[in-house]
Amino acid sequence: MSFKAFFSATGSILLFLAAMASMAPALCAQTASATAAGAVTLDSCRAMALANNKQLMMSRARIDKAHYQNKEAFAAYLPGIDFAGGYMYNQRELSIFSSDQLLPIKTFDPATQSYQFNLVKNPVTGEPIKGPDGQYIPETVALIPKEAMTYDIHNVFFGAITLTQPVFMGGKIVAMNKITKAAEKAARELHNLEAENVIYAVDAAYWQVVSLKAKESLAESFVNLLDSLSTNVHLMYDEGVATRSDMLSVDVKLNAAEVDLTKVRNGLVLSRMALAQVCGLPVDAAFTLADEDNLDTAVQELVPTATDSSAPDMQDVYNRRPDLRALDAAAEVARQQKRVALSTMLPNVALVGSYSFSNPNMFDGFSKKFKGAFSVGAMVSIPIWHWGGKYYKYRAAEADELVSKLKIEDAREKISLQVSQASFKTQEAYKTYDATMENLRKADENLRSANLAFREGVATTDNVMAAQTAWLKAHSEQVDAMIDVRLCQTYLSKALGTLAD
């Protein structure tokens, strides 16, 4: 697709969007000052679009999101403090014994110098007596009632404050911090890329308006030429020196020119609406452009640069291109993702400290009040065997890293080709402009000669209309060439990464 066809299609899309767009809710101060001045420059249109574009607003929000994620990743270096607490109601009480307990009692025997159980003895033999269960029968016992070992746990309150300090997580925390930093950088570069796209769209809409304004003036001049010719032919017809066919041919041509003028004016109105929508203005905003009646000067400012055919330093181009910088950030993310995958195969070490408490508590017997204690320790997690799952995850991350590197190489090749194409197109646009200037001089002279010959009676109305048509075509091609010069220069700046400078 040629540049002219591309920008024509872009203009059609912009016209459709402008016709479907709703009224913008508010204008920024810069917008109000620009329209109040009566003439809006290209730089003003760019500034308004950059301030009001919704896509840029979303990309700014993505930058904020990436920044906060970076802050979140940095917080993993610091100790985490958590609190957990709860309440539990239990239906039953807790009892250690199922019934009252009878415990045998020992007394000190001086003869053996030890404690001996007090047992019931046979009065005849003096031997301890066994009961039906085969156990000796104690003479005295200590009673422990069941109620004494029953505890009220109907209402239990508990809680703990825990501090966890990561010591070594296999490099995961460091990698995640680098990932989030790279993600924030990528978000900023994508924002810059979107800003370039907005500027490019503004330039296309701006010069579309300028082009149609120039063609409106051209169409008006063409209508005036045909109107003058029609008046002369009607006078000649009244005097009998021109035929009715000559008069009708001129009238048909004049009507067609008036229709074309109406189409150009309608297109100009819609193009202004499209530009207003891109800039964030209401679609019915009334404004004029600084270059509407100054297209020749705007193009002449660029013509001297046509002689500069030196090849750009591609390394500088790569460094300036935001899309390539975004790919570099994505490659860094892929590298750190591989580091994260590796960390799953390494030990993790953390220090843990906590203060836990409960009511009731058992620190000094069973007590129905809050009481707690501190505890500190270390936690180590060592992966041993996962059937190769973690290793395969690491290999997959390696493949992602390779893909990101290949994307950068592919992008560099395409950027180099894009710069070459843009340079050739720009040089071609300048040459076309020079050719149209020469054709314009010839068309003006041809029209002057045709009018002179017609007045002297040696040329027909068809000759004059043919000269007028050639004159219109030459001027129209000159306008298209001038617009191509501006747009090709914009495209070249975008390819070189200098559009937003």
The region of weakest confidence among 99-108, 213-222, 255-264 is 99-108
**Predicted local confidence at residue 178, as pLDDT:** 97
Check pLDDT > 60 for residue 20: no
Sign of CA dihedral 425, 427, 432, 433: positive
Q: Which of these, 441, 449, 450, lies nearest to 474 by C-alpha position?
A: 441
**Predicted local confidence at residue 28, as pLDDT:** 38
With a pLDDT cut of 90, the percent of the chain lying above it is: 67
The region of weakest confidence among 119-123, 216-220, 426-430 is 119-123
Cα 72–76–79 angle (5° rounding)?
125
Indicate the SS3 state at residue 354.
strand
DSSP 315: H
Tell me, letter by letter, the H, E, C secondary structure of 93-148. Answer: CEECCCCCEEEECEEEECCCCEEEECECECCCCCCECECCCCCECECCEEEECHHH
**Predicted local confidence at residue 364, as pLDDT:** 86
Quickly tell me which residue has 């978000």 as its tokens.
187
Check pLDDT > 80 for residue 23: no
**Predicted local confidence at residue 305, as pLDDT:** 54
- Residue 372: strand pairing partners: 357
* Higher-pLDDT residue of 27, 154: 154
What is the average per-residue pLDDT within 61-85?
96
**Predicted local confidence at residue 201, as pLDDT:** 94
**Predicted local confidence at residue 13, as pLDDT:** 30
For the ranges 111-120, 143-152, 472-481, the maximum mean pLDDT occurs at 472-481
The region of weakest confidence among 108-122, 357-371, 387-401, 420-434 is 108-122
404-462 pLDDT, tens digit each: 999 999 999 999 999 999 999 999 999 999 999 999 999 999 999 999 998 888 888 89
240-284 pLDDT, tens digit each: 888 889 889 999 999 999 999 999 999 999 999 999 999 999 998
Whole-angstrom distance, CA of residue 484 vs CA of residue 4: 7
Tokens of 165: 């300090």
DSSP 365: B
What is the average per-residue pLDDT within 225-230?
92
Contacts of 25 (CB under 8 A, 6+ apart): none
Of the pLDDT bands very low, low, confident and very high (cuts 50, 70, 90), residue 4 is very low
Tokens of 237: 């017809």
Of the pLDDT bands very low, low, confident and very high (cuts 50, 70, 90), residue 471 is very high
Check pLDDT > 60 for residue 22: no
Q: Which of these, 484, 277, 321, lies nearest to 414 by C-alpha position?
A: 321
Indicate the SS3 state at residue 49.
helix
Instruction: Say if CB 218 and CB 440 are below 8 A apart.
Output: no
What is the average per-residue pLDDT within 8-16?
33
Of the pLDDT bands very low, low, confident and very high (cuts 50, 70, 90), residue 389 is very high
- Dump the DSSP string for 462-488: HHHHHHHHHHHHHHHHHHHHHHHHHHH
**Predicted local confidence at residue 133, as pLDDT:** 82
Of the pLDDT bands very low, low, confident and very high (cuts 50, 70, 90), residue 196 is very high
**Predicted local confidence at residue 241, as pLDDT:** 80
First-to-last CA distance in the chain?
Answer: 28
Is 314 exposed, middle or buried, given 0-12, 13-18 or 19+ CB atoms closer than 10 A? middle
Whole-angstrom distance, CA of residue 466 vs CA of residue 30: 49
* Amino acid identity, position 274: A
The region of weakest confidence among 24-33, 83-92, 292-301, 326-335 is 24-33
**Predicted local confidence at residue 6, as pLDDT:** 32
317-330 pLDDT, tens digit each: 999 999 999 999 99
**Predicted local confidence at residue 258, as pLDDT:** 95
Tokens of 26: 């508010």
For residue 360, cis peptide bond before it (omega within 30 degrees of 0): yes
Tokens of 40: 């809006």
Task: For residue 368, count other CB atoms closer than 10 A to its CB.
Answer: 12
Check pLDDT > 50 for residue 30: no
Tokens of 6: 């591309």
The region of weakest confidence among 94-108, 120-134, 143-157, 323-337 is 120-134
Q: How many residues appear in the chain?
A: 501
**Predicted local confidence at residue 10, as pLDDT:** 33
- Dump the DSSP string for 240-297: TSS-HHHHHHHHHHHHHHHHHHHHHHHHHHHHHHHHHHHHTS-TT---EETTTT-HHH
* Higher-pLDDT residue of 239, 211: 211
With a pLDDT cut of 70, the percent of the chain lying above it is: 90
Whole-angstrom distance, CA of residue 344 vs CA of residue 328: 25
What is the average per-residue pLDDT within 123-144?
84
**Predicted local confidence at residue 41, as pLDDT:** 92
Check pLDDT > 90 for residue 476: yes
- Dump the DSSP string for 180-240: HHHHHHHHHHHHHHHHHHHHHHHHHHHHHHHHHHHHHHHHHHHHHHHHHHHHHHHHHHHHT
**Predicted local confidence at residue 308, as pLDDT:** 56
Quickly tell me which residue has 């917080």 as its tokens.
75
**Predicted local confidence at residue 125, as pLDDT:** 82
Q: Which of these, 3, 485, 70, 27, lies nearest to 286 by C-alpha position?
A: 27
Tokens of 12: 């059609």
